[in-house]
């Protein structure tokens, strides 16, 4: 995790990127589970984020992605969040 980012949950990370004076949410990229596309993942730019809700991230124009589908967040090309692998017992 990046030393500048203190948060560990995607919602908190996005709020930190949005509100910290020396950072910008537009400089991040988000990889998330998107069923039906090749590889079942999609990556979008932080520039497309229009809302940081309690349970969902909203992208332009009106796509809502639940935080549990986010696999990775990169800021300026550096990974700052990566979802832990699920353990099946």
CATH of residue 39's domain is 2.30.30
Over the stretch 52-82, which tens digit does the pLDDT of each residue have? 999 999 998 889 999 999 999 999 999 999 9
Q: Is residue 32 part of a domain?
A: yes
Q: Is residue 24 part of a domain?
A: yes
The pLDDT value recorded for residue 45 is: 96
Q: Is residue 46 part of a domain?
A: yes
Q: What is the mean pLDDT of residues 22-28?
A: 93
The pLDDT value recorded for residue 2 is: 47
Sequence-distant (≥ 6) Cβ neighbours of residue 67 within 8 angstroms: 9, 10, 11, 55, 56, 57
The pLDDT value recorded for residue 87 is: 62
Structural domains counted in the chain: 1
The pLDDT value recorded for residue 1 is: 44
Q: Is residue 5 part of a domain?
A: no
> What is the domain range of residue 46?
10-82
Q: Is residue 66 part of a domain?
A: yes
């Amino acid at each position: 995790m990046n030393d500048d980012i203190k948060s560990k949950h995607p919602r908190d990370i996005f709020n930190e990127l949005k509100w910290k004076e020396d950072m910008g949410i537009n400089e991040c990229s988000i990889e998330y589970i998107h069923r039906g596309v090749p590889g079942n993942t999609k990556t979008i730019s932080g520039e497309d984020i229009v809302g940081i809700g309690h349970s969902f991230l909203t992208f332009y124009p009106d796509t809502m992605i639940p935080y549990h589908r986010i696999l990775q967040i990169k800021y300026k090309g550096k990974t700052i969040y990566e979802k832990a692998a699920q353990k099946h017992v």
